[in-house]
A and B are shown apart, each in its own frame.
Chain A
Amino acid sequence: MSVLIYIEHAEGHIKKSANEVLTYGTKLAAQMGTSAAGLLLGTVKDNLADLGRFGVTTIHQVSNETLNQLDSQVTAKAIADAATQTGATVIIFSQTPTGKSIASRVAARLKAGLVAGAAALPDTSNGFVVRKTVFSGKAFANISITSAIKVIALNPNSLSAVETTGIATVSPLTLTIDAAKITTTAVNIISGEVPLTEADIVVSGGRGLKGPENWGVLLDLAKVLGAGTACSRPVGDAHWRPHHEHVGQTGVQIAPNLYIALGISGAIQHLAGVNRSKVMVVINKDPEAPFFKAADYGIVGDLFEIVPQMTAEIKKLKGIV
């Protein structure tokens, strides 16, 4: 009985979401009176022993280069085999695009109950009950997992990674790895931008910006804040911004610490993608815009006047000239 935490990496580096699941898995193991170990498939440039700072004592590594590319079928079998070999009964993933493509496979392979989109640590006082977001963040469901093996995929940004000073032991694991059926032919990382789902701060624009040529004010604000950029659906549909920036019920769902909405009315479908943000700020010229009901801070006014002042003010605060 132990907890196994799947560590995602890309381009040779461990992802921020991995720090969160390592923290989560370690806390869960402590709660269950058992141990937690990380699992890394493939190779990275980062020092794996350093991951001990999130509380794990062991990192199992299967350093097979072919695992650096994702074929969910191959990866899921490797994870399930690793879980069996190490005696893991709870397996933790991050509910990221990568996690979504493998956690479900691992669960089905091991006949393990899955809670995908977990928002908190399980309640293990009576059974095993995990809280997850449902209805696009409008509610939570407490789900009981009744199978012997359990799989949890944790929503990114639902808990902060806690760092201490530990060092983990890296232990090589040998598994039979199948040949991939999927061939990755290109990887296009949108460079120079903060990935939306990992961004701490997101600045988002709606139809109120009037046209793609006006995005400069938004981009300037995002730049001083080191923020990711997002948009409402009509903005994506009109190709004012790339479609991967579209947030909401039918777009990307995000949960940053700070979400700044500029010229977005706050339709229920838009809120469904952003309502897990910790702090929401709305700039809209219409005092009746529904977004104000969901927001934490707001200014009623013309974004073209207000946003440059926000940028200037933050620059002052950060000492940027």
Chain B
Amino acid sequence: MKILVCISKTPDTTSKIAFKNNQTQFDEAGVQWIINPYDEWFSLVRAIEIKEKDAASIIHLVTVGGADCDPIIRKALALGGDEAFRINAESNDSFYIAAQIAELAKKNGYDIIFTGKEAIDYNSSAIGGMIAELTDLPYISLATLFTLDGSTATITREIEGGEEVASVSLPVVVSCQKGIAEQRIPNMRGIMAARTKPLQVIEPSPIDALTSIVSFELPPAKAGCKMVAADNVPELIRLLHEEAKAF
């Protein structure tokens, strides 16, 4: 089984969100960078589990980003990837990123391409579908379970108000979320091994971005919380009904 896991670098979930240069750039001062939780906890771990059952499997990692992504990709190697590719380009355009990954995928040929459900910075949930379209593969989004039987995958995916079970022949692109695997912590052996695992930097293919960020905005500050005394529940309900018109 040849598996590609897409890894993105995102700010830690507790990061202060602020912008600079006239609100046109994310302010990275003091920000801790992590592997996007969906990629680390779910798609990468599910790939590792597949390899643990079928030792002949190979796990490739790919990230589209600058040299500042290297620590992130090393950590992913420490968790259990075999080989990593960094496509040396910075972009926030989903199409640009997906097209770069699709080029690599077409060249190497994978049985499974895993992405996370979404990157927690731009929250587009788009890269997986785009890779699938550009490589002409089936795509199953928001997977909560993934089982393999030979070359057939059975996948449970989230739909509005429930879930759907689907089966598909490999190759397939899958976006992963909670349920598909349990988060793991890298161990010392993995960290040592990661140092010598190959991390190949490749130059991007010539592809035009189709979108660009003009500016950022922070939502207006809340007016503050109106406190109601614990012995005055009817007042809370009155406020919700009459003032907030919430029901």
- Taking Cβ atoms with an 8 Å cutoff, the residues of A that contact B are 8, 10, 15, 17, 70-73, 76, 95-98, 100-109, 111-117, 129, 131, 133-147, 181-190, 193-198, 201, 225, 236, 243-244, 246, 249-251, 253, 257-258, 268-269, 272, 278-279, 281-282, 292-302, 305-306, 309-310, 313-314, 317
**How far apart sit A17 and B215, CA to CA, in the bound complex (Å)?**
28
Give which listed residue, A141, A195, A249, contacts B216 with CB less than 8 A. A141
On whether the beta carbons of A101 and B219 are closer than 8 Å, the reply is no
> Which residues of A sit under 8 angstroms from B227, Cβ to Cβ?
292, 297-300
- Given that A292-B225, A301-B230 are known contacts, is A100 also in contact with B17, CB under 8 Å in the complex? no
**Most chain B CB within a 10 A radius of its CB, from A114, A189, A278:** A114
Other-chain contact of A195, B99, B136, B160 (Cβ < 8 Å):
B160
Report whether over half of chain A's contact residues are helix, strand or loop; otherwise say mixed: mixed
Closest residue of chain B to A129 (Cβ to Cβ) is B214
Task: Please pick, from A144, A186, A301, the residue contacting B214 in the complex, using a CB distance under 8 A.
Answer: A144
B150 within 8 A of A: no
Are the CB atoms of B230 and A187 closer together than 8 Å?
no
A183 touches B167 (CB 8 A): yes
Are A72 and B129 neighbours in the complex by a CB distance under 8 Å?
A: yes
Chain B residues, Cβ within 8 Å of A113: 93, 95, 210-211
Q: Which residue of A lies closest to B137 (CB)?
A: A73
* Complex: A136 Cα to B121 Cα, angstroms: 7
User: How far apart are A291's CB and chain B's nearest CB, in angstroms?
Assistant: 9
Asked if B120 and A249 make an inter-chain contact with CB atoms under 8 angstroms apart, the answer reads: yes
> In whole angstroms, how far apart are the Cα atoms of A111 and B207 in the complex?
11
Residues of B within 8 A of A (CB): 11, 13-14, 17, 19, 37-38, 41, 93-95, 98-99, 120-130, 132-134, 136-142, 144, 154, 157-169, 178-179, 209-219, 222-223, 225-230, 233-234, 236-237, 239-241, 244, 246-247
Q: How far is the CB of B174 from chain A (nearest CB, A)?
A: 11
Contacts of A282 in B (CB 8 A): 225
Check A141–B213 contact: CB distance below 8 A: yes
Q: A243-B178, A258-B247 are in contact. Are A181 and B216 (CB under 8 A)?
A: no
Q: List residues of chain A with CB within 8 A of the CB of B137.
A: 73
Tell me whether B160 and A313 are in contact (CB under 8 A).
no
- Which of A98, A100, A142, A302 has the most CB atoms of chain B within a 10 A radius of its CB? A100
A104 touching B127 in the complex, CB below 8 Å, given contacts A187-B159, A298-B227: yes
Instruction: Point out the residues of chain B lying under 8 angstroms from A306, CB to CB.
Output: 230, 233
B163 touches A101 (CB 8 A): no
Complex Cα distance, B95 from A115, in Å, reads 10
- Tally of contacts, chain A with chain B, CB under 8 A: 283
> Contact check: which of B98, B157, B179 meets A108 at CB < 8 Å?
B98
Inter-chain pairs besides A8-B160, A104-B130, A143-B214, 8 sampled, C-beta below 8 Å: A103-B126, A107-B95, A116-B125, A117-B124, A138-B219, A140-B219, A250-B37, A296-B226
Q: Please name all residues of chain B whose beta carbon is closer than 8 Å to the beta carbon of A144 when the two chains form the complex.
A: 211-214
Assess whether B14 is in contact with A268, with CB atoms less than 8 Å apart: yes
| Contact between chains at B123 and A117 (CB < 8 Å) | yes
State A282–B230 Cα separation when bound (angstroms): 12
Chain A residues in 8 Å Cβ range of B136: 73
How close is B154's CB to chain A, nearest CB, in angstroms?
8
Closest to B134 in A: A108
Q: CA A268 – CA B172 in complex, angstroms?
A: 34
Docked pose: A306 CA to B231 CA in angstroms: 8
Q: With A115-B211, A257-B246 in contact, is A97–B158 under 8 Å at CB?
A: yes
B38 to chain A, nearest CB (A): 7
Distance between Cα atoms of A310 and B160 in the complex (Å): 29
Q: Can you pick out 12 interface pairs between chain A and chain B where the beta carbons lie within 8 Å of each other?
A: A97-B141, A100-B142, A113-B93, A139-B19, A142-B217, A181-B168, A187-B162, A198-B160, A244-B163, A257-B246, A297-B228, A299-B233
* Inter-chain contacts of A187 with B (CB < 8 A): 159, 162-165
- 8 Å CB contact of B161 from A70, A71, A193, A269: A193
Contact partner of B121 among A135, A278, A309, CB < 8 A?
A135
Q: Are A73 and B138 in contact (CB under 8 A)?
A: yes
Given contacts A96-B160, A310-B237, A313-B233, contact A114 B210 (CB under 8 A): yes
Closest to A140 in B: B217
B129→A104 contact, CB < 8 A: yes
Residues of B within 8 A of A268 (CB): 13-14
Using Cβ atoms and an 8 Å threshold, which residues of chain A touch B162? 187-190, 195, 244
A201 to B23: give the CA distance in the assembly, Å: 33
Q: Does A281 lie within 8 Å of B240, measured CB to CB?
A: yes
Chain B CB count within 10 A is highest, among A100, A104, A293, for A104
CA distance A189 to B124 in the complex (A): 25
- Are the C-beta atoms of A249 and B225 separated by less than 8 Å? no
Contact A310/B236 with A142-B217, A282-B225 known, Cβ cut-off 8 Å: yes
Using Cβ atoms and an 8 Å threshold, which residues of chain A touch B159? 10, 97-98, 187
Q: In the complex, what residues of B have CB within 8 A of residue A105's CB?
A: 129-130, 132-133, 139
Contact B178 A251 (CB under 8 A): yes
Most A CB contacts (10 A, CB to CB) among B132, B161, B225, B241 go to B161
